[in-house]
Amino acid sequence: MLKWKRTLVGRVLGTLAALALSTGAVTAKTEVTFFYPVQVGGPLTKIVDGYVASFEAANPDIKVVPVYSGNYLDTTTKSLTAAKSGKPPTVAVLLATDIFTLIDEDVVQPISDFVKTADDRAWLNGFMPAYMASAKVDGKVWAVPFQRSTAVLYWNKKAFAEAGLDPKKYPKTWSEMVAYGKAVTKKDASGRVVRWGVGIPGNVGSAQWLFGALAAQNGVRLMNDAGNKTDLTNPKVVEALKFWVDLNKVHGIHPPGIQEGGTTPSDFLEERIAMIWTTTGNLSNLLANAKFEFGLAPYPGNPAPASVLGGGNLYIFKNAPAAEKEAAMKFIKFLTSDELLADWGIKTGYVAPRDGAWKTEAMKAYAAKVPDILVARDQIPVSVPEWSTHENARTGKVLNDALAAALTGKKTPEKALADAQAEIEAILKPYR
């Protein structure tokens, strides 16, 4: 008998405690839940907390609950999961490329719905057009840029000098990159490569991103702006993939198989790879840890240089209560103010997506110290949007699988892309 009572009491208390802790304190303030991914390392959660505190100090009737949700993919999954179960976050930082998926699942509301005054419109117009392009669908602005990036090339100046190259010159064309890569590839006595010329991450998530850049450098886009048609069998697209595969197969300057994005920065720091293709977001990490001089370069072209845009936008979720959405809008305006974007850009290496941010004193001082970030900014006008279609997760996977098959030699570039195009056509046809 006693056991029953004890167990019952224990269970009730436990449940109450669990419920109380999980639902959080009850306040009279408007509560805004903010899901965000952190892509460049743990301590940044402290910075976000700092921003939240400043915002709350200026807006005492609003409480922001920041929820760190993992990487981009995880944050998207979490946001969609929460939205579908009736408890959406109010605002979230999600990939710009998720836009079609979010619209199709009917979980987000256009930012343009909240833009009412002339001030609002001025604010909206202050974002860089290249970044806004991927946020507009059917004439409405669905999201605003927040932590955006472009893909860049980092090169090891010390290795270049060692190999007899001019350490200040970075490759401007594909053939230059191959030539420099060959010069700087180093082998040991047994013929094993100890330093590769160039590494382009080909893992899921990085592959489709950087392939967009390669295709753009060759003068083509992978998909249309409406996100319902892809162009993977275009000969120039196939040529771009062939170029990537040949970096290892023919020229021997790229690690075999798939280069992992996660280990690429440390590969660079360990001088295992002399030129890496990765995000501007890695700049702070490399600056802090590199024991050699390195540079940040725009991508080479074939012949016109081009890169790909990346990163996350701020989305408002449709089914959150109206008062919360209004409050979220205030938070979004706060987060995208010129000063804050400059601060965030300096601390992370993300590119501030507003021209105004680049004119702030803090940013100008930082650019004087680290002129490399201007390189990233200047590449934006020649950068194309990231892979983005309806059912993005699925089509992205098909493309990534195709790229992996080509990079590991299981399929020829032609076949891999042809198969992928056919599969994606079947997925996208209903959306036309």
Partner 1 sequence: MKPSRNVLYGSLLLLPAVVLLWTFTYQPILGTIIDSLFSTPRGKRPAAFVGLDQYQRMFDDPVFWKAMVNNLIYALTTIPLSMALALVMALLVNSRLKGQAAVRMAYFTPTILPMVAVANIWLFFYAPDYGLVDRFLQIFGWGGNNLLGMPQTALGALIAITIWKEAGFFMIFYLAALQQISPALLEAASLEGASYGQTLRRIILPLLMPTTLFVSINAVIGAFRLVDHIIVMTKGAPDNATTLLLFYIYQVGFGYWDTGYAAALTVILLLILALIALFQFGYADKKVHYR
Partner 2 sequence: MSADFRRKPVVALTNFAGWLLAILWVLPLFYAFWTAFHPSEFAARFDLFSPWTLENFQRVWHAAPFARYFFNTFALVSTILICQLVICTMAAYAFVCFPFRGSDALFMMVLVQLMIMPEVLLVENYRTLSKLGLLDTTVGIALPYLASAFGIFLFRQTFKSIPKELEEAARLEGANGLQVLWHLYVPLAKPTYIAYGLVTVSYHWNNFLWPLVVTNSVETRPITVGLQVFATIEQGIDWSMVTAATMLSVTPLVVAFLLFQRQFVQSFMRAGIR
Binding site for partner 1 (CB under 8 A): 73, 77, 80-81, 84, 103-107, 190, 192-193, 202-204, 255-260, 263, 267, 270, 272, 391, 393-394, 397, 400-401, 404-405, 408, 410
Which run of H or of E encompasses 247? helix 235-249
Q: State in angstroms the smallest separation of the CB of 113 from partner 2.
A: 25
Which run of H or of E encompasses 424? helix 413-428
Overall size of the chain counted in residues: 432
Task: Find how far residue 295's CA is from the centre of its chain.
Answer: 21
Which residues, 6 or more positions from 52, have their beta carbon under 8 angstroms from its beta carbon? 34, 64, 66
| Residue among 380, 386, 427 nearest 207 (CA) | 386
CB nearer to partner 2: give 279 or 302. 279
* Total binding residues toward partner 2, as defined by CB under 8 A: 51
Query: 307-317 and 144-156 as β-strands: parallel, antiparallel, unpaired?
Result: antiparallel
Question: Phi-psi category of 200—alpha, beta or left, where left has phi over 0 and alpha has psi -120 to 50?
Answer: beta
Task: Choose the one of partner 2, partner 1, none that binds residue 261, judging by a C-beta under 5 to 8 angstroms depending on kind.
Answer: partner 2
Q: State in angstroms the smallest separation of the CB of 194 from partner 1.
A: 9
**Residues 12-41 contacting partner 2, CB under 8 A:** 14-15, 17-19, 21-22, 24, 38-41
Q: State in angstroms the smallest separation of the CB of 347 from partner 2.
A: 15
Tell me which of 78, 148, 333, 411 binds partner 2, using CB under 8 A: 78
| Residue among 156, 172, 188 nearest 274 (CA) | 156
CB nearer to partner 2: give 24 or 129. 24
Task: Choose the one of partner 1, partner 2, none that binds residue 47, judging by a C-beta under 5 to 8 angstroms depending on kind.
Answer: none
**Residues 166-205 contacting partner 2, CB under 8 A:** 205
Distances (CA, A) of 37 to 6, 45, 95: 43, 9, 10
Does residue 60 interact with partner 2 by CB under 8 A? no
Query: By the 8 A CB rule, do 336 and 355 touch?
Result: no
Task: Choose the one of partner 1, partner 2, none that binds residue 45, judging by a C-beta under 5 to 8 angstroms depending on kind.
Answer: partner 2
- CA-to-CA distance for 274 and 294, rounded, in angstroms? 9
The residues facing 315 across adjacent strands are 92
CB nearer to partner 1: give 386 or 391. 391
Distances (CA, A) of 275 to 25, 152, 169, 421: 50, 10, 12, 31
Residue 167, both tokens: 């350490």
Query: By the 8 A CB rule, do 315 and 91 touch?
Result: yes
Q: For 141, which DSSP code?
A: E
Task: Find how far residue 133's CA is from the centre of its chain.
Answer: 16
Tell me which of 202, 227, 261, 298 binds partner 2, using CB under 8 A: 261
Task: Choose the one of partner 1, partner 2, none that binds residue 285, judging by a C-beta under 5 to 8 angstroms depending on kind.
Answer: partner 2
Tell me which of 59, 112, 263, 412 binds partner 2, using CB under 8 A: 263
Does residue 82 interact with partner 2 by CB under 8 A? yes
Of 68-76, 103-111, 380-388, 424-432, the segment contacting partner 2 by CB under 8 A is 68-76
Does residue 279 interact with partner 2 by CB under 8 A? yes
- CA-to-CA distance for 276 and 299, rounded, in angstroms? 11
Site string for partner 2, 203-242 (x = CB under 8 A): --xx------------------------------------
Q: Which residues would be at the binding site for partner 2 (CB under 8 A)? A: 1, 3-4, 7, 10-11, 14-15, 17-19, 21-22, 24, 38-43, 45-46, 67-72, 74, 78, 81-82, 84-87, 205-206, 261-266, 270, 278-279, 281-282, 285, 289
